[in-house]
Amino acid sequence: MNKLRRIKKVLGTRGLYITAALSLTVMAGACVFAYNKAMDEVGQSFELNIPEKTITEQAEAKKSDVTKPDTKTDKTKTQSDTDKTDDEKVNTKDQALNTQPNIMPVNGEIINTFSGGELVKSDTLGVWKTHDGVDIKADKGTAVKAMNQGVVSKVWEDTLWGYCVTIDHGNGIEGHYYSLTSAVAVVEGDEVNSGDVIGYTGESAIVENTLGAHLHFALKQNGSWIDPIAYINPLGIK
């Protein structure tokens, strides 16, 4: 009995601590067990709900916003652009120019030829100057035709050259038709074909009024005056 009392006395205060420690140990073990069990369940959940195939698909989906070059299209485009020569890159209007014949805008006597940059004396002005076109004599009112197809780029009345028409014939060729009557048959922007009537011969060019009714016809190639006759009839065929 005395021994039991001594044990109770010793354990009286310390027993509470021991009991508490044992309780904490049990609770900790339970938590660890519960944690491990929960982690196992989570692992099983991932294994069941996210198969390997789906993970692979998701990885591939992350690349879907990356633009992939179309090898076939890019190759075709590159070849089509690089294989073209400068001659092949001319526009449709210039290509069509070669399908229509160059013609004299008026049939008549050439009374003044192209001077080719040389100075010649002007009968009207009495001075020496270049003659940058040809003068073709024709009765007043004779139809003036477009040398070739093109687009009318300018129609105006000049104080020296009278009523004038300029046509862009393509390929760098620009036709100038001066000394017309006021009855001009085209307006700016008109598309014309070889032989279309654009106006009529007159006497409106003051700088050449001693010549009577005629057409002053001139050509520019890439901004420089050239011989219209040599261009229209390079072989000199009569």
57-109 pLDDT, tens digit per residue, is 444 444 444 444 444 444 444 344 445 455 554 454 555 556 789 999 999 99
Least confident of 76-80, 120-124, 125-129, 223-227: 76-80
Does any domain span residue 128?
Answer: yes
Its pTM surpasses 0.85: no
Q: Domain range spanning residue 29?
A: 2-61
- Residue 130 and residue 217 in one domain: yes
The mean of the pLDDT values for the chain is: 75
pLDDT band at residue 169, thresholds of 50, 70 and 90? very high
The answer for residues whose C-beta is within 8 angstroms of residue 188's C-beta and 6 or more apart is 152, 153, 154, 155
The answer for residues whose C-beta is within 8 angstroms of residue 106's C-beta and 6 or more apart is 136, 138, 142, 143, 144, 145, 201, 215, 217
Distance CA 104, CA 229 (A): 8
142-161 pLDDT, tens digit per residue, is 999 999 999 999 999 999 99
Does any domain span residue 39?
Answer: yes
The pLDDT value recorded for residue 12 is 53
Does any domain span residue 76?
Answer: no
- Residue 130 and residue 22 in one domain: no
Average pLDDT over residues 111-132: 93
The pLDDT value recorded for residue 30 is 53
Domain of 137: which CATH number?
Answer: 2.70.70.10
